[in-house]
Amino acid sequence: MAKKKIEVSRKIYSQKSIDKMQARIDLLGYRESYSAIIFLNIRLLSSTFLFFMILYLFEWGYVLAPLITFLYYIFLPKIAIDQKVAKRGSRLDKEAMYFFEVLTLSLESGRNLQSALEVTASNIDSELSSEFKQTLEEVRFGKSLNEALDDLKRRIPSDTINNIILNISQSNIFGNSIIDTLYNQIDYIRDKKVMETRAKMSKIPIQISVVSVIFFIPILLLLILSPVIISYIVG
């Protein structure tokens, strides 16, 4: 029965659409990932329901229904998936420095890459650590470490972390110093955080100016002009 549903769904949606949506959903992480076909079917059915509800409830439904349904169909993935992915990417970026610093220390103690990942993931409680635990679980079930790391990149919505994973994989394949690679990447993350902090600080004067214009200047003008206004009203 499930196979028939999948076959019908593949007739409705192109394989390219399914793969593209699945790639977006996978960025939610292995704990929240689900089948793209399920999401596409829910979007189609809910859009159909919304169309007929608007058509039935509103006098101008024949105008509103196509427009609102189209907007709902287009923006549902952005609201249900992309916003969550963006927030998840920010969380993972915040966790990255500490995780990779501990990983570097584990490697410096003489462990190989897989053993260092196991020690690091087991001693850090974070979302990024959980993703690496899943990667190590896939290795236990028969994947090579590099294959599992490639799959991990598909679940991580952070270019910074994916770049580190790529460098780790390449160092593991070609025998380069993983420790030196990680130190370089940690320095990059640290510099990136400093730049982001400076960018936020540079926006503060502008934000203060906007608040001043909207709130304080009208109040100040009111205080200055209030005697004139009162005398005009009384006179």
pLDDT at 9: 61
pLDDT confidence of residue 7: 52
Whichever domain contains 98, its CATH number is: 1.20.81
Q: What is the pLDDT of residue 207?
A: 64
Q: One digit per residue, pLDDT tens: the chain, 235 residues? A: 444 545 556 678 888 999 999 999 999 998 998 999 999 999 999 999 999 999 999 888 888 999 999 999 999 999 999 999 999 999 999 999 999 999 999 999 888 889 999 999 999 999 999 999 999 999 999 999 999 999 999 999 999 999 999 988 888 888 778 888 889 888 988 888 888 777 777 766 666 666 666 666 677 666 776 777 777 676 5
Q: Is residue 222 part of a domain?
A: no
**Buried-state track 62-80, b at ≥16 Cβ within 10 A, e below 16:** eeebeebbeebbeeebeee
Report the distance separating Cα 163 and Cα 153, nearest Å: 9
DSSP single-letter state for residue 79: I
Q: Are residues 75 and 114 in the same domain?
A: no
Amino acid 214: pLDDT: 67
* Rounded Cα distance, 132 and 152, in Å: 8
Residue 46, burial from CB neighbour count under 10 angstroms (0-12, 13-18, 19+): middle
63 and 115 both lie in a single domain: no
Indicate whether 7 belongs to any domain: yes
In this predicted structure, what is the pLDDT of residue 123?
Answer: 93
Check whether residue 58 and residue 15 sit in a common domain.
yes
Please choose, from the candidates 52, 48, 131, the residue with its C-alpha nearest in 3D space to the C-alpha of residue 91. Answer: 131
Q: How far, in Å, CA of 14 to CA of 16, rounded?
A: 5
Residue 89 has what pLDDT? 94
How far is the C-alpha of 234 from the C-alpha of 231, rounded, in Å?
A: 5
Q: Would you state the pLDDT for residue 175?
A: 75
Q: Which domain holds residue 121?
A: 90-193
Say if residue 130 is in the same domain as residue 145: yes
Q: Mark whether 79 and 120 lie in a shared domain.
A: no
Last residue within a domain, chosen from 39, 70, 86: 86
- Same domain (yes/no): 101, 10: no
Token pair of 62 as six digits: 């024949």
Whole-Å CA distances, 107 to 27, 101, 119? 28, 10, 10
Domain limit, last residue, from 45, 69, 86: 86
Chain center to CA of 201: 24
Q: What is the pLDDT of residue 198?
A: 76
Same domain? 111 vs 189? yes
Q: What is the DSSP letter of 82?
A: I
Does residue 70 sit in the same domain as residue 97?
no
Where does residue 124 rank: exposed (0-12), middle (13-18), buried (19+ CB within 10 A)?
middle
Same structural domain, 27 and 73: yes
Number of residues that this document lists for the chain: 235
Cβ proximity of 98 and 124 under 8 Å: yes
Nearest to 132 by CA among 29, 4, 13: 29
Q: Both 82 and 120 in a single domain?
A: no
Total domain count for the chain? 2
Residue holding tokens 């460098």?
A: 167
